[in-house]
Amino acid sequence: MCAASENVKPGYLSSLLRHKCSRCRTGDMFKVRSSYNLKQFMKMNDKCPACGQYMEIEVGFYYGTSYVSYALTVALSVATCIAWWVLIGFSLEDSRFFIWMGTNMVLLVLLQPYLMRLSRAIWLSFFVRYNENWRNEKPESPERRGSEPT
């Protein structure tokens, strides 16, 4: 890697979509890269392999991701509804609306593993900001962790 590319700040959106650590935007959050390895797709690294940021800041930290996942699925459903309406249209005389509902349902089920991981990446980015000096500064220790005594 050249010295010029080391100083480039990784993009926020691209790091979210690739499920990277929000502190350094280079380390993987998950142990398995594929969202569709269904036995292991939600197994997360305890710490970021690049910067050492704890992935679970406190016990139950990722419970809030259900709200993010819900917002993502609603946004995706609205987007597919608008695209269907513009490209195909809705009518009361036939079953196009129900075909869209079925298509949308299949799409959401197929994208659910990816959306669940994306919602975790988004949720972590709410609480852990990008640090340009992540190579030189240690991450903050979490207040409490499930595996450590209090």
Residue 5 in any domain: the answer is no
Mapped to the 3 state alphabet, what secondary structure does 19-36 carry? CECCCCCCCECECCCCCC
- Supply the pTM of this predicted model: 0.83
> Is residue 43 assigned to a domain?
yes
The average pLDDT across 39-60 equals 91
Number of domains in the chain: 1
% of the chain exceeding 90 in pLDDT: 67
pLDDT > 90? residue 91? no
Q: Does residue 136 lie within any of the structural domains? A: no
Residue 90 lies in a domain: yes
Is 4 inside a domain boundary? no
Residue 42: inside a domain = yes
**Residue-level pLDDT at 6:** 62
pLDDT of residue 149 exceeding 50, the answer is no
Q: Residue 16: inside a domain, yes or no?
A: yes
Please state, rounded to an integer, the average pLDDT across all residues of the chain. 88
Domain annotation covers residue 87: yes
pLDDT digits (tens, 9 = 90+) for 27-37: 999 999 999 99
**Residue 55: partners with Cβ closer than 8 Å, 6 or more residues away:** 21, 29, 44, 45, 46, 47, 48, 124
Q: What is the pLDDT of residues 123-137, one digit of tens each?
A: 999 999 998 888 888
Range of the domain at 122: 11-127
Collapsed DSSP state (helix, strand, coil) of residue 54: strand
For residues 16 and 3, which has the higher predicted lDDT (pLDDT)?
16
